[in-house]
Amino acid sequence: MNVGTTTNDGDICLTDSATTHTILRSNKIFSCLVMQEVNISAIYSTTNIIGGSGRAIVLLQRGTRLHIKNAFYSPKSNKNLLSFEDIRLNEYHIDTNNEGDIEYLYHSN
């Protein structure tokens, strides 16, 4: 399952139920980034698209802020992928609300 949203700077983020870690393509989002190449297993092969990992703060539209303790940095990625686990750790649900053509994540009470 994928749910799309964008960051405040217009970069696309997909909420992906299949990813185990949040994967971000901009190093500007990281508050602490350790550069290291990491091989990850994809469906058909192993690849080295990860250039580092660390703490990140993702600011989505309408002020939604996600603090992620261990995100992967992947400058080769086409899109940012937000893991369901990181969203839940920030006390958000995976449910969405549509306003016009934009979907928003619900915040838990």
pLDDT value of residue 13: 79
Q: With 0-12 CB in 10 A as exposed, 13-18 as middle and 19+ as buried, what is 40?
A: middle
pLDDT value of residue 86: 92
pLDDT value of residue 3: 47
The dihedrals phi and psi of 94, each to the nearest 5 degrees, come to -85, -10
User: Tokens at residue 48, please?
Assistant: 């080295």
Each residue's pLDDT, cut to its tens digit, for the chain (109 residues) gives 344 555 656 677 788 777 888 999 888 889 999 988 776 666 666 667 788 899 999 887 777 889 999 999 988 888 888 898 998 899 887 766 777 777 666 655 4
CA-nearest of 77, 23, 18, 76 to 54 is: 23
The CATH number assigned to the domain with range 2-107 reads 2.40.70.10
Alpha-carbon distance of 97 to 23, in angstroms, equals: 24
| Residue boundaries of the structural domains of the chain | 2-107
DSSP secondary structure of 84-95: HHHHHHTTEEEE
Q: Which residue has the tokens 């990850």?
A: 40
pLDDT value of residue 109: 47
Bridge partners of 38, per DSSP, are: 50
- Please, are residues 64 and 87 in contact by the beta-carbon 8 Å criterion? no
Q: Which amino acid is at 28?
A: K
